[in-house]
A and B are shown apart, each in its own frame.
Chain A
């Protein structure tokens, strides 16, 4: 099972990085969210995917899954939500002000 999810995380990273290297701003943002999905899936995988009960204390149940990676992922998800929403608004404002969303045109020395 870990092999499958590792490969899936790898595919998410690959597609994310491919999108990150594109010129259109929106594609780049899609790339960042794909990468964060990959990272979160990877944390879950690295905490071992053995069968067990959800980590909620119930009487008579002994085998729980590891609760720590779940807490780490939850933290990481909200952080990347925050950053992504900021980035989306920034991309909106930047494309309005600069009249372009092409990364090739967002450079140069004329405004220094």
Chain B
């Protein structure tokens, strides 16, 4: 029964291996991948249902007891994120055949795609710090493959930088694990958390905590460490950008949530205060980047960064409301970023340019894409009936409860500027006179619209159906703020 927890990792892994045997038969591998992603989503949802009914599933791999073997911990937070990952996966796999060329598709796109899903799900589900590193590498290796797929000049240029920065942060991760091992003598997260409370010299632990934060901050693109992100996310195919934008940075922020609610909570005055500062700078600098450019892809890429800032702010405030806000915002942002990246990919493909100044009056030709773009934009900015509102409301409420007015003001102003930067695409690109010389490709637009429509529908559900989702998120927040629940469920004492 507890083997359920490993299925969201095993199924995409096997699917990726099988897809590697039939790369040239494009139709076969396409149908196979679509079926497998849907199967995997169904499995993830079933695991989610089981966890919701009976509490966390702990799988001790190989039958070794908890601190000695590797544990897979499926608690509510991990499972929700795995489900969201698979939703993005389904949308992207259906979008892929419409946006990739046949040649790119036949060069192992689906294998890399499934390995990316394996790595992301594994990183969400693992209960062991070194295993987290391994799953990081699984997803990074897959992302390197996806990033250079197609192989034009710019992709080579930018992927070198992306790989170098990730290689360096991975090595730093290994070093920090070694540091932590020498202090607490274990790599199992639950046991580390238990021993950290007993260690007398807290100074060294704070140092290790900050180092670990820098590793995850590089992956998640937080203020001083976000410089690698914008360029390397616009060069690959739109569907690959969507996978990256929706999943990769979120793995970093999930690791920060996990580590800084479970392990390093002995000196919150220092660490979590630092997070609030960095969150404010992340929001400001990200949104400045988004305002600075006329390239539609770059505008959306820069909008990843303030969203990360919002989530970090919730962890920094470290109260029940704020952490719930972070988690709600995380779920919302994965879906809405997936939708926006796919939309922008569709817009660039349909308009034939990514320069905002050269677009005009697209709404006359592609009304469905246009209205979906508007919905995603207002959802991102946090206009009430849509999903971004709930998360931001909770975050700002958490800020006010602690009397931290400055961060609340930064958050509100950033939201306004996010709306401004995104609505610019809608106004400049979709409004205006109908261009009669432009011949629209309605068939292609319809094909693009389906996968995006599903993601937009989920965004609307997350906003309108907040009453269904919020109690779960609130429970997770309570669970996260009491590390003994996690420790007891894993170590079973």
Contacts and interface: CB of A to CB of B under 8 A. Distances in A.
Contacts of B295: 112
A6 to B, nearest CB: 11
Contacts of B177: 43, 72
A15 to B, nearest CB: 14
A90 B156 contact: yes
Contacts of B163: 83, 86-87, 90
A98 interface: yes
A107 interface: yes
Interface residues of B, number: 33
B153 A79 contact: no
A82 B141 contact: yes
A76 interface: yes
Contact of B137 (A42, A46, A72, A79): A79
Given A32-B167, A86-B144, A93-B151, A39 B156 contact: no
A86 B172 CA distance: 20
B26 to A, nearest CB: 24
The interface residues of chain A, by DSSP majority, are classed as helix
A28 B154 CA distance: 19
Interface string B167-192: 11011101101110110000100000
B148 interface: yes
A98 B157 contact: yes
Contacts of B151: 93, 97
Interface in A30-50: 32, 35-36, 38-40, 42-43, 45-48
Contacts of B237: none
B141 A94 contact: no
Contacts of A25: 160
On chain A, which size bracket covers the interface?
A: 35 or more
Contacts of A107: 157
A62 interface: no
Nearest to B131: A75
B11 to A, nearest CB: 23
Given A86-B141, A87-B167, A39 B160 contact: no
Contact of B171 (A75, A80, A91, A106): A80
B168 A20 contact: yes
A80 B134 CA distance: 11
Interface string A97-112: 1100000001100011
A43 B174 contact: yes
A12 to B, nearest CB: 11
B178 A36 contact: no
Contacts of B179: 46
Interface of B: 130, 133-134, 137, 141, 144, 148, 151-154, 156-157, 159-160, 163-164, 167-168, 170-172, 174-175, 177-179, 181-182, 187, 234, 295, 354
Interface of A: 20, 25, 28, 32, 35-36, 38-40, 42-43, 45-48, 68-69, 72, 75-76, 79-80, 82-83, 86-87, 90-91, 93-94, 97-98, 106-107, 111-112
Top 9 closest A-B pairs, CB basis? A46-B182, A94-B156, A46-B178, A43-B178, A39-B171, A111-B154, A39-B174, A106-B157, A39-B175
12 contacts: A28-B164, A32-B167, A36-B171, A39-B172, A39-B178, A43-B177, A47-B182, A72-B181, A86-B144, A87-B163, A93-B151, A111-B157
